[in-house]
Copies of this chain bind each other. A is one copy, B any other.
Amino acid sequence: MVQYSPTDRTFAALADPTRRGVLERLGRRSATISELAEPFGISLTGMKKHVRVLEDAELVTTEKVGRARRCSLGRRRLDEIEDWIESYRRMLDERLDRFGELLERNETREGSQG
């Protein structure tokens, strides 16, 4: 069975515009499932599914309050995925540098041959 890491779950949770919108919305204030569903024009069932994915990724926490379920931003931040993106970008930059050096070396060689 595939085990999903926090990094996998965070990337997957963010791969949907409604879920990204929910995080932005909860960044302003906590909200019930129906308060979240309305502006997105989706069903309660649909929003429950999205919130569940965000909850599994620990990006959102929920709490039963009376008959409603109140959602807030969870404790997990985006550090893991930022770290991955940062190290990938560094690798790409180093690659560009090596490519640049290669070009320079070739130009020098061509210059000395000309």
Contacts and interface: CB of A to CB of B under 8 A. Distances in A.
Interface stretch (A31-39, A63-71, A81-89, A102-110): A81-89
Contacts of A9: 15
Copies of this chain present in the complex amount to 2
A79 to B, nearest CB: 10
How many residues of A sit at the interface, in one of the four size bands? 20 to 34
A77 B88 CA distance: 10
Contact of A92 (B14, B16, B77): B77
A92 B27 contact: yes
A114 interface: no
Interface in A71-100: 73, 77-78, 81-82, 84-85, 88-89, 91-92, 95
A95 B12 CA distance: 25
Interface of A: 5, 7-9, 11-12, 14-17, 20, 23-24, 27-28, 73, 77-78, 81-82, 84-85, 88-89, 91-92, 95
